Amino acid sequence: MIVASQIRDYVNHIWPERLSFDGDNVGLLVGRADKEVKKILITLDVDEWVVEEAIKASADVILSHHPLMFRPIKRLTSADPMQKTLMLLAAHDITLISAHTNLDCVRGGLNDLLAKKLGIFSLEVIEPVGEHDGKVCGFGRVGEVEEGTTVGSMLQRCVEALGIKGARYVGDVDRQVRKVAVNCGGGADEINHCIAMEVDLFITGDVKYNPFRDAYESGMAIIDAGHYETEHIVTELFSAMITENFSEIEIVESKANVPVINYYIKK
């Protein structure tokens, strides 16, 4: 019999919680550590619709990338969406485990997967935060792409590899790039590091106007491929981990977790 604490402990073993960003909320967040686990729902986000999906699927555990709670709460009512989701989890005895910035930072984690999908090789960490298994871990990855790659061809890679309709960007689409960096999710905090490292192109999400301007004025191209869009691939890591180490557990990939930001394109 597999119980939730075994899942939590293994997640912490391969994606150590000590690597998570200060203020992050990772690990077993809701539910019983001794909950028997026969079925896991894997997802990027957790909300009311994802929990309803887990209930219908009879999932015992939800394994998410984004935590449900970042701050302490003083009340638990149905008036607040997050609190309502917590109440649903508790009412249906569903355990929630989250691996967030620890999974971003660890080698072989989400940033490495994103870089691999975009054809970036010879990877190094942009901002180190610690070590695990003798390897430097931290935020973002920087590496190289093959000679002749352009900003435009990297835009096309993002569209194809991440299944997106488009992306915001700064830079000349015909400009050739060689040194390319990524930081999954909302990684704009790494822009100044990338400028200092003389990166040709930085791919991330959630970039505001002024950081775009900073990159433009410094001659670095940026592709903002979206927060959800650069991280929904996390389910591949979750699925591989469960299949390899807990093969008797059934995996359900969330269909209710969808990108909430849409784009209107003038016809």
User: How many Cβ atoms sit within 10 Å of the Cβ of residue 257?
Assistant: 23
> Mean pLDDT of all residues in the chain?
96
Q: What is the DSSP string of 145-167?
A: --TT-BHHHHHHHHHHHHT-S--
Please report which residue ranges of 58-142 form alpha helices under DSSP H.
81-91, 101-105, 110-117
pLDDT of residue 41: 98
The confidence band for 263, taking pLDDT boundaries of 50, 70 and 90, is: confident
The confidence band for 13, taking pLDDT boundaries of 50, 70 and 90, is: very high
Q: What is the mean pLDDT of residues 183-201?
A: 96
| CA–CA gap between residue 144 and residue 147 (Å, rounded) | 9
pLDDT of residue 169: 98
Q: Using alpha carbons only, give the angle 54, 21, 197 rounded to the nearest 5 degrees.
A: 120
| CA–CA gap between residue 109 and residue 115 (Å, rounded) | 10
Give yes or no for residue 266 having a pLDDT over 90: no
Model pTM score: 0.96
Paired with 184 in beta bridges are none
pLDDT of residue 265: 81
- In tens, the pLDDT along 143-190 reads 999 999 999 999 999 999 999 989 999 999 999 999 999 999 999 999
Residue 176 gets which letter from DSSP? Answer: B
- In tens, the pLDDT along 232-245 reads 999 999 999 999 99
User: Which range (70-79, 82-91, 135-144, 210-219) has the least confidence?
Assistant: 70-79
Strand intervals (E) in 36-151:
39-43, 61-64, 95-98, 121-132, 135-144
Are 125 and 136 spatial neighbours (Cβ–Cβ below 8 Å)? yes
Give yes or no for residue 107 having a pLDDT over 90: yes
How far is CA 207 from each of CA 75, 147, 151, 224, 225, rounded to the nearest angstrom?
33, 27, 17, 6, 9
Are 41 and 50 spatial neighbours (Cβ–Cβ below 8 Å)? yes
The confidence band for 267, taking pLDDT boundaries of 50, 70 and 90, is: confident
How far is CA 60 from each of CA 88, 223, 231, 235, rounded to the nearest angstrom?
13, 38, 24, 17
pLDDT of residue 164: 93
Nearest to 182 by CA among 259, 110, 233: 110
Element (H, E) at 13: helix 4-14
- In tens, the pLDDT along 116-139 reads 999 999 999 999 999 999 999 999
| CA–CA gap between residue 207 and residue 160 (Å, rounded) | 21
φ, ψ (nearest 5 deg) of residue 98 = -130, 140
pLDDT of residue 264: 83
pLDDT of residue 100: 98
pLDDT of residue 157: 98
